[in-house]
Amino acid sequence: MKRLLMTTALIAASATGVYAQTNTEAAAESDAAASMQSGSDSMFRSEPGPMEIHASNFIGMRVYTSENEVDQEGYEGLQDNWEDIGEINDVVLNRDGGVDAILVDIGGFLGIGERQISVDMDAIKFVSDDATAEDEGDFFLVMNASRANLEEAPEYSWDRAENDAEMAMNDAENAAENTADDVAVAADNAGDAIESSAEEAGNEIEQAASNVAEETDEAVDSAEAELQPMTDDVASDEAVDPAATGAATGMAANETMNSDAEMANNDAATNEMVADEGYTMVRADELTADDLTGARVYDSTDQWIGEVSELLMDGSSKIDRAVVDVGGFLGIGEKPVALASDELNIQRENDGDDIRVRVNMTKEQLESLPEYED
């Protein structure tokens, strides 16, 4: 039961109709109160009407349910077959200013779990308390409903829009995660493809080198086979004329020495590397440790295979060796290997500060070297 403070017309559209049927004197008093305004069409009020219900009093009132039809306008106090199902938590207005529904917090009734439901205002009856007939503001809020009706009543959601936004956010996050996963898979696949291509290229280079070596061996064997008859002839001549044989031997020795020297020169020419366009060859002692540390290293196939990570000095403070970190591309682990300073071909950019290093070995050959441990 709730006492009324007759002020606002927040839910007057519902309450006034009930009372108008039962109390014409109250309706007359309401008309009299309205006439006290500055005009019948005034938008302001100076005092409440007797049939108007204050929203702050209405919210919090108890709501009762009866399975039997409530066919009287008033009852002597609270009836035995009425069940208290909960209290009003809020009211739902329409844009015309009328009350569409009330929000009732129910719980602990007939085994129904505590939750909030929305009840249409037309389903609520304002029943006078005849036990206090002298108090016109003393009444009950009663609705005809069964246990099945209450069990089937849907739970009211305050934040449906927030739920929709949250679902949209979750969908966006899931889409972003799926996109990130797809990108990661694509990157892994690309990395595997690049690694596989690099490995195939290395195998092809190694096979080509092996073929060259075999062809060289075959050429040497063929040359030896062609020279064998000449060697036999020389041996035969030495047996007949020792002086001539000695002369021939000396000539052969000179030819052999000349051939060896020529091969050495050819090997030196092969190992000598020409500076890249825009770069000049420099010696290690022309640079500082800061200049050389971090310089990119390229192999004999002109592939960038790592960087100089550390310089090792000898007892005279000269660069003795350089540690090169090989690998480290797309998840491939870096392997530090130590190279002698004379194995490094160091170049400096003519119009800049870039330093690069070339080695006369392939990446696979570098990776096969022992790992440097500090």
Please choose, from the candidates 315, 370, 352, 291, the residue with its C-alpha nearest in 3D space to the C-alpha of residue 344.
291
- Segment 230-241 mean pLDDT: 56
Specify the higher pLDDT residue, 183 or 340.
Answer: 340
- Count of Cβ atoms closer than 10 Å to residue 228 Cβ: 10
What confidence score (pLDDT) does residue 30 get? 56
Query: Minimal CA–CA distance to 26: which of 59, 56, 50, 57?
Result: 50
What is the per-residue pLDDT for 225? 81
**Model pLDDT for residues 128-137, shown as the tens digit of each residue:** 888 888 887 7
- For residue range 197-218, list pLDDT tens digits in order: 888 888 888 898 888 888 888 8
Tell me, yes or no, if the two domains 12-158 and 279-367 fold the same way.
yes
Q: What was the pLDDT predicted at 372? A: 92
Query: Residue range 125-154: average pLDDT?
Result: 87
The CATH fold assigned to 12-158 is SH3 type barrels. (2.30.30)
Higher pLDDT, 102 or 341: 102
pLDDT tier, 331 (very low <50, low <70, confident <90, very high otherwise): very low
From 3.40.50.300, 2.30.30.240, 3.30.460.10, 3.30.470.10, which CATH number describes the 279-367 domain?
A: 2.30.30.240
User: How far is it, in rounded angstroms, from Cα 20 to Cα 365?
Assistant: 104
Residue 217 CA to residue 205 CA, distance in Å, equals: 18
Q: Which residue has the higher pLDDT, 296 or 160?
A: 296
29: left (phi over 0), alpha (psi -120 to 50) or beta: alpha
3-state class (DSSP) for residue 119? strand
Task: Determine the pLDDT at residue 347.
Answer: 92
pLDDT value of position 188 = 84
The pLDDT tens digits of the residues spanning 13-62 come to 444 444 444 445 555 555 555 554 445 557 888 887 777 788 888 899 99
Average pLDDT taken over every residue of the chain: 77
Stretch 55-73: mean pLDDT, rounded? 89
Neighbours of 197 (CB within 10 A): 10
From residue 11, give the alpha-carbon distance in Å to each of 7, 51, 59. 11, 10, 11
Comparison of pLDDT for 316 and 250, the residue scoring more:
316
Residue 233 is predicted with a pLDDT of: 63
Residue spans of the domains in the chain: they are 12-158, 159-239, 279-367
